[in-house]
Chain A
Amino acid sequence: MNWRRIALISVPFLWLLGLFLVPFFIVLKISLSDIALAIPPYTPTLELSEGWSGLRDLVAQLDFENFAFLADDDLYWKSYLSSVQIAFVSTFMCLLIGFPIAYGMANAPTEWQPTLMLLVILPFWTSFLIRVYSLIGLLSQEGMINQFLMWIGLINEPLMILNTNWAVYIGIVYTYCPFMILPIYATLIKLDGSLLEAAEDLGCSRTEAFWRITIPLSKAGIIAGCFLVFIPALGEFVIPSLLGGSGTLMIGKVLFEEFFANRDWPVASAVAVILLLILIIPIVMYQRNEQKMMEADT
C-alpha cells in the first residue's frame, strides 16, 4: 500500500463521507430532537466541549416524539399515501406512452436512429424547471388546450386542469418520459428479429408474438424504466408546487413547507427519515434489476 493509492482512495471517500453520509446522521439525530425557539431551532445540541458526558446527555434527551406526531396527524400519512399513489399512476401512464415511442424508435429505419435518439435526449438536457413551466401556459384555464377544446366545440367552458392532480400526472409523465423511453429502447434494439420471424413461421400471429417474445425480452428495460420514473416522482417537489393545487398532497412539498414555512426542523427531518425508509424498497429492487441486466449482457 503506497501513499499515492491511499490518497487516491481517501480524497473521494472522505468527501462523500463528510458531505453525504454524515449529513444523514445529522438528519436522523435532529428527527429525534425537539423544536426550540433558538438558533439552531432545535434542542438538544451537541456540546463537543463536554466530551463523552455531553454525548451521553444528548442521547438521553432524544426521543421518538416527532414520529409519534407524524403517525397521529392525518396530513402526513395521507401525503405519503397520495405520493405513492401519484407516483404509481404516473409511472404506469409513462409506460403506456413511453413503450410505443421506444418500440417505434427501435423499429424505425437504421439511418433514423441517431436522430430519434437525439430527439429523446434533448428534453433530458433541457432545464427541468423550464419544461414544467412550459406546461403551465398550456394547461391553464385560458391556455392552449382549453382554447382548442372550446374551438372544436367539445366543451363550452374551460376545464380546470392546472392546480389539480391531473396537472401533476401530466407534469410527471411529460418530464420523466425520457427516463422510461431510453432503457426500454436499449433492450428493444438488442432484440433479435429472427426470433419474431421464427414465431411467425411457427404460426404465431403478430400480436401473439409481441406478447410472448417482445414483452418478456424487454422486461428488464421496462422494470428499469419504471423505477427510474417511480423513485424520483415519489419525492417530487417542483411539479406538485407549480402544477398541483392546494389539494395536492405530496410528501416532497410537505417537507419543503414544514422546513421553510413552519420552520419545524425536527418534524421536517422525521418526514425525510420516513421518506427514505419508504424509498429503500424500490431502490434495492432497482439495483437488483440493474445487476441482472449487467449479468445478462456479459
Chain B
Amino acid sequence: MRRLTWFNATSLTLGFAFLYIPMIIVIIYSFNESRLVTVWGGFSTKWYGELFQNEAFLDAALVTFQVGLISSLIATILGTMGAYVLVRGGRFFGRTLFSGMIYAPLVMPEVITGLSLLLLFISIGLDRGMTTIVLAHATFSMCYVSVVVSSRLVSFDRSVEEAALDLGCTPFDAFRSVTLPIIAPAVISGWLLALTLSLDDLVIASFVAGPSSTTLPIKVFSSVRLGVSPEINALSTILIGIVTIGTVAASLTTKRAALRRKREQQMAEQAS
C-alpha cells in the first residue's frame, strides 16, 4: 500500500520546499560580503565577526540563556508535579479547575498572557526584570511539561509502582527509583520544550521585561522592524544550526534506544 505515487512525490517536494526555502535563503545570505541583502557580493564570514562584537546582542543572549535555564528548570519540576497530580492525584477539591488551568495556557493568546501577568506584577509591586520573565516563562512552560509528562504517565504499567510499594518503598522512594526512570525521557523532552519556548518567546517577554533585561527575541524584533540585516541573518543561521543539530541528535538517540530495547527483548525471548 505504501508506494510513492507522482502525486505524493510532488506534494512532498513542493511542501518541503515551501517550508525550507525561506530559511535556506537566510543561511546563504548570512555569508554574503555585501551589506545589500539582495545583491550577492561574494563569500564572507564578516557578519559573524560583527555579530560577536555587538555588545547589545551578547548581553541580550546572556539574559535569554539565564532566563531559559532557570525558568525551564522550575517548569520541569512544577510540570512533572502537575502531571503526577493530574494522572495519579485521585479526587481532590478543585480537580477540574486544576486540569483547566493546566490546559488553558496552551491555547491562550500570548498577548493576553503577557498583559495579565504584567498587570499582576504591577499590582503586587514586583519590579520588572529577569525575575518577572522567569516567573512568566516558568508558568506557561510548566503546562507544556505537564501535558508531555502526563501522556507518558498514563501509558505506563502501574503495577511496577505498586510492586515497589508492596516491597516496602515509601511513596517518595517508589517515585524516585521506579516512576522517575520510566518517565525520564518525557521529563527530558518536556524540559527541552520548556527551554525552547523560553528562548523563543517575544510577546510575553515584551510585556514583563524591564528596561534593564532585554532578551534576544526582543532585541531581534526591534532591529528586524527596520528591515533585513546581515547580522540578523548570521544570528538566525547560528540558531537554526543549533536547533538542527539538537533535533537530529535527539532523534538519533531515541532511534538507537529503540533498537537496543528491541535487541534486549529478542535476547530475553531467546533466553526464556
Q: Is the CB of B22 within 8 A of A11?
A: no
A134 with B255: CB separation less than 8 A: no
B63 within 8 A of A: no
Cα A265 to Cα B224 with chains together (Å): 27
Contact A125 B247 (CB under 8 A): yes
A259 touches B115 (CB 8 A): yes
Whether A19 contacts B117 in the complex (CB less than 8 A), given A127-B199, A136-B224, A237-B111, comes out as: yes
A193 to B78, Cβ gap below 8 A? no
Given contacts A12-B142, A103-B8, contact A27 B111 (CB under 8 A): no
Distance, CA A242 to CA B217, complexed state (A): 13
B139, CB-defined interface residue at 8 Å = yes
B135 interface residue per 8 A CB criterion: yes
Min CB gap A209→B, angstroms:
12
A237 near B203 with CB under 8 A, answer yes
Is B156 at the interface (CB under 8 A from chain A)? no
Q: Give the total of B residues in contact with A, Cβ under 8 Å.
A: 84
In the complex, which residues 224-279 of chain A have their Cβ closer than 8 Å to any Cβ of chain B? 231-232, 234-238, 241-242, 252, 255-256, 259, 265, 268-269, 272, 275-276, 279
Say yes or no: A133-B119 contact (C-beta < 8 A), given A122-B244, A279-B109. no
* Contact status B38-A16, CB under 8 Å: no
Contact B15 A19 (CB under 8 A): no
Q: Is B69 an interface residue (CB 8 A)?
A: no
**B107 proximity list for chain A (CB < 8 A):** 231-232, 279, 283, 286
With an 8 A cutoff between CB atoms, is B43 at the interface? no
The answer, among B102, B109, B112, B224, for a CB contact under 8 Å with A16, is B102
Q: Do A255 and B115 have beta carbons less than 8 Å apart? A: yes
Category for how many chain A residues contact B: 35 or more
Q: In this assembly, does B184 line the interface, its C-beta being within 8 Å of a C-beta of chain A?
A: no
Write the A116-155 contact mask toward B (1 if CB under 8 angstroms, else 0). 1011111101111111011111101011100100000000
Asked whether any CB of chain A lies closer than 8 Å to the CB of B67, the reply is no
Instruction: Compute how far the CA of A27 lies from the CA of B29 in the bound complex, rounded to whole angstroms.
Output: 44
Q: Is B81 an interface residue (CB 8 A)?
A: yes
Known: A16-B102, A97-B18, A147-B38. A22 touches B120 (CB 8 A): yes
With A19-B139, A125-B247, A127-B200 as contacts: A133 and B220 at CB distance below 8 Å:
yes
Question: Does any Cβ of B come within 8 Å of A53's Cβ?
Answer: no
- What B residues does A276 contact at CB under 8 A? 112
CB pair B1 A129 closer than 8 Å: no
B57 within 8 A of A: no
A12→B251 CA distance, assembly (Å): 31
CB pair B4 A109 closer than 8 Å: yes
Q: Which residues of B contact A116 (CB under 8 A)?
A: 12
Cβ of B34 < 8 Å from any Cβ of A? no
Which residues from A are CB-within-8-Å of B20? 119, 123
Query: Known: A40-B122, A137-B228, A174-B22. Is A27-B8 also a contact (CB below 8 A)?
Result: no
Q: Report how far A142 CA is from B228 CA in the complex, Å.
A: 12
Q: Mark B204-245, 1 if CB is under 8 A from A, else 0.
A: 001100000000010011001101100010001001100110
> Is A114's CB under 8 angstroms from B18's CB?
no
Q: Are B19 and A123 in contact (CB under 8 A)?
A: yes
B111 touching A107 by the CB < 8 A rule? no
In the assembled complex, the Cα of A46 lies from the Cα of B120 at a distance in Å of 13
> In angstroms, how far is the closest chain B Cβ from the Cβ of A66?
14
The reply on A100 being an interface residue by CB < 8 A is: yes
Known: A232-B109, A272-B116. A108 touches B102 (CB 8 A): no
Residue in A4, A8, A125, A252 whose CB lies within 8 Å of B111? A252
Chain B residues within 8 Å of A236, by CB: 109
- A108, closest chain B residue (CB): B4
**Interface assignment of A52: CB less than 8 Å from any CB of chain B:** no
B89 in contact (CB, < 8 A): yes
* A242 vs B246: C-alpha distance when bound (angstroms): 28
Asked if A26 lies at the interface with its beta carbon under 8 angstroms from chain B, I say: yes
- Most chain B CB neighbours (cut-off 10 Å) among A134, A136, A231, A276: A134
**Cα–Cα distance between A38 and B107 once the two chains are bound (Å):** 34
Q: A118-B251, A127-B199, A137-B37 are in contact. List 7 more A-B contacts (CB 8 A).
A: A46-B123, A126-B23, A126-B240, A127-B217, A133-B232, A174-B18, A238-B221
Give the top 6 A-B pairs by smallest Cβ distance, nearest first. A235-B109, A23-B116, A100-B11, A101-B15, A193-B1, A134-B22
Binding site for B on A (CB under 8 A): 4-5, 8-9, 11-13, 15-17, 19-24, 26-27, 30, 40, 46, 97, 100-101, 103-105, 107-110, 114, 116, 118-123, 125-131, 133-138, 140, 142-144, 147, 174, 177-178, 193, 196-197, 231-232, 234-238, 241-242, 252, 255-256, 259, 265, 268-269, 272, 275-276, 279, 283, 286-287
21 residue pairs bridging A and B, Cβ less than 8 Å apart: A4-B171, A19-B120, A26-B119, A27-B115, A107-B1, A118-B248, A119-B16, A123-B19, A123-B23, A126-B240, A127-B200, A128-B202, A129-B202, A129-B220, A130-B236, A133-B224, A137-B25, A241-B225, A242-B225, A259-B115, A269-B119
